[in-house]
């Protein structure tokens, strides 16, 4: 059970590195003529703290987030669960560690079993997140179509970098850390 959980998590970590971090690092070097705040305004969201960023990686994230919001407004329930579910997943590792400490101190359950079951829960949630990537890819397509109606990029490499980063950013949300 632990081996299956660890293999799932390692595979997800490698996929996240391959599809997101590598592309993100390349996208951070591409300065664009539009800001995250402008993109989120066009796509109907709020930019928050990242409103002044102009790199392709930040803009790709904004396109994905904006697409999810647009799909949510269109009545797609999966888009809302996909957008908010990632934040729910972030508490899971802390909960597993806390239960491990409590079981160690109180001796109510063997610690290896608690950690094994926790790792299995995390791996199961990661598998569910990976299975729902198609919703985020559809959101990228929806956000990109909406952005293309209102914005024309000056350089083709800006446009390609933003779209590549937007597609790769769906892998950002699969792991809880």
Whether residue 138 has pLDDT greater than 90: yes
CA dihedral 121, 126, 127, 129 (to 10 degrees): 130
What's the pTM?
0.80
The span from the CA of 121 to the CA of 109, in Å, is 17
**Which of 96, 83, 1 lies closest to 45 in space, CA to CA?**
83
**Residue 112 to residue 29: CA distance in whole angstroms:** 44
Q: Is the pLDDT of residue 1 over 80?
A: no
More confident residue, 65 or 154: 65
Q: What pLDDT digit, counting tens, does each position of 2-60 carry? A: 788 888 888 888 988 888 888 988 888 888 888 888 888 888 877 677 677 888 898 99
How far apart CA 2 and CA 128 sit, in angstroms, is: 18
Q: What's the mean pLDDT when you consider all of the chain?
A: 85
């Amino acid at each position: 059970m632990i081996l299956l959980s660890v293999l799932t998590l390692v595979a997800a970590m490698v996929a996240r590195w391959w599809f997101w971090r590598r592309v993100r690092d390349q996208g951070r070097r591409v300065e664009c003529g539009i800001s995250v705040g402008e993109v989120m305004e066009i796509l109907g969201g709020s930019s928050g703290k990242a409103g002044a960023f102009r790199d392709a990686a930040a803009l790709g994230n904004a396109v994905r987030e904006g697409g999810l919001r647009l799909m949510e407004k269109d009545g797609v329930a999966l888009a809302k669960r996909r957008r908010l579910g990632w934040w729910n997943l972030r508490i899971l590792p802390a909960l597993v560690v806390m239960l491990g400490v409590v079981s160690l101190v109180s001796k109510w359950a063997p610690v290896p079993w608690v950690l094994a079951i926790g790792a299995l829960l995390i791996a199961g949630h990661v598998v569910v997140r990976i299975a729902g990537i198609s919703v985020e890819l559809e959101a990228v397509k929806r956000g990109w179509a909406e952005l293309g109606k209102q914005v024309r990029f000056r350089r083709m490499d800006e446009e390609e970098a933003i779209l590549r980063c937007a597609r790769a950013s769906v892998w950002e949300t699969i792991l809880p850390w």
